[in-house]
Amino acid sequence: MIKLFGGMTSPVLNRKRSDFIQHTLPSLRMAVASIALLEYLWLGPSNRQVLIMLLIAVFYATLCICVRTIKVFFGKYQYVMLLVDQLMIFLLCYFAGGMQSPFVYGFIIPVLIFTTSPDYKQMITVLVLSLAWLLLLGLLTIFELDLLVWLFTIIALSGIIVNVTVSNDLSILSRYAVRDGLTGLFTQRYLYEHLDILINDPKTNSRPFGLLMLDLDDFKSLNDELGHVEGDRILKEIADTLKRTVRDTDVVVRYGGDEFAIILPGVEYQLCQVIVDRLRTAIIDMDYFSNVSIGSALYPDEATEVDELVNLADTRMYQKKRQTKQGYSLF
């Protein structure tokens, strides 16, 4: 069944979209503004106001390319960028014939850009804003209801078609990008992307969290004895046990092979110790392994960089694996 408007994307794809907003989109804006200006100079009738607006559009597009602060700002506040783009199109249409202006189809461009997001609320917001601009344009120039309905229908259909086709592809790509094919857990790549957001995003970097690295001792021997099919089944069962044992807010990752990682938002030393004990008991009670090694690291008390945090938890896990066949290492 095709899921209209898609679903949640991964940090990987969200970052790619942010890069598109900051880098590719300014170049596209410059190309459109330059082509419109050249076409006007070549074919258009003399209209000083339209010429000024086109020059402003080219200047604005140039700033979006050359000034890093503007690119970062629009990457963070995308709706401001949307409103500025729509305002430029509105003013061009206002000075070039109102709803009859050929520039009116420029409203399709921001709609197409923003409807590539799987968030259907974002698509609806963009369409409502586009309708509001068209209504205002009609009220300030010559209002033609039939033309308004036609224009909005074209814009809305374009947005919906793009959202359905692109967002479904994004949903599929997102799942393959962040989910392990065997266990259904998040992948190592997702782990690093998520940690990067937790540590570097101003909205989250003030909140503590813990990272656990977990290794199933002697899994290789068990896998060789029972076979790879049975080994895969056990890994799936382990994954299900981990998900049931931790909280809904925790992020469980298959780090690779028989190693797992778990992000524990909002935890400090005492709670981290409780969760480690609970995980160790849950896995050993499955009767597949007599030993499990777990290492942990706490942000920001013990590490403030992604690689530093992962390496610390990983080192402690292997230290515990060498020192004893059962337990955990917080130090």
- Predicted pLDDT of residue 70: 83
- Judge if 46 and 158 occupy the same domain: yes
Sign, CA torsion 144/146/152/155: negative
- Judge if 158 and 204 occupy the same domain: no
For residue 102, tell me if it sits in a domain: yes
- Please name the residues in contact with 152: beta carbons below 8 A apart, sequence gap of 6 or more: 130, 131, 134
Could you give the number of structural domains in the chain? 2
**What residue type is 92 in one-letter code?**
L
- Judge if 171 and 208 occupy the same domain: no
Judge whether residue 195 has pLDDT over 80. Answer: yes
DSSP state of 106: G
Tell me the pLDDT band of 43, cut-offs 50, 70 and 90: low
pLDDT digits (tens, 9 = 90+) for 220-261: 888 888 898 998 999 999 999 999 999 999 999 999 889 999
**What residue type is 57 in one-letter code?**
A
The question of whether 258 is a catalytic residue gets the answer: yes
Rounded average pLDDT over 5-34: 59
Give the residue with greater pLDDT, 170 vs 130. 130
Judge whether residue 2 has pLDDT over 70. Answer: no
Phi/psi at 133 (5° precision): -65, -40
pLDDT digits (tens, 9 = 90+) for 93-131: 898 888 888 888 888 888 877 776 666 778 888 889 999
For residue 311, tell me if it sits in a domain: yes
For residue 92, tell me if it sits in a domain: yes
* Catalytic, out of 217, 250, 258, 314: 258
- Judge if 34 and 170 occupy the same domain: yes
pLDDT digits (tens, 9 = 90+) for 272-328: 999 999 999 999 999 888 888 999 999 999 999 999 999 999 999 988 888 765 444
